[in-house]
Amino acid sequence: MKNPWKQINLSDYENHMKLDSVYQLQVLNEMMKEQFEAYDIETIMILGVAGGNGLQHIEKEKIKKVYGVDVNEDFLEECGERYLNLGETLETICVDLLNETGKLPYAELLIANLLVEYIGYDCFQRVVKTVNPKYISCIIQINEGESFVSDSPYIHAFDCLDEVHHQMEEKPLISSMDEINYRMLQTSERVLPNGKKLVRIDFGK
For residue 10, the model assigns a pLDDT of 77
The model carries a pTM of 0.88
For residue 142, the model assigns a pLDDT of 85
Q: How far apart are CA 10 and CA 16, in angstroms?
A: 10
For residue 151, the model assigns a pLDDT of 46
For residue 193, the model assigns a pLDDT of 81
Q: What is the DSSP letter of 34?
A: H
Q: What is the pLDDT along the chain (205 residues), one digit of tens a residue?
A: 567 677 777 777 777 777 766 778 899 999 999 999 999 999 999 999 999 999 999 999 999 999 999 999 999 999 999 999 999 999 999 999 988 888 899 999 999 999 998 899 999 999 999 999 999 999 998 876 544 455 444 354 455 455 555 577 899 999 999 999 999 999 999 988 877 899 999 999 9
For residue 64, the model assigns a pLDDT of 97
Name the nearest CA neighbour of 119 among 166, 170, 158, 161: 166
Q: Domain segments of the chain: what residues?
A: 4-204
For residue 11, the model assigns a pLDDT of 75
Cross-sheet strand order for the sheet of 135-142: 90-94, 65-70, 43-47, 109-113, 135-142, 197-204, 183-191
**Which superfamily does 4-204 belong to?**
Vaccinia Virus protein VP39 (3.40.50.150)
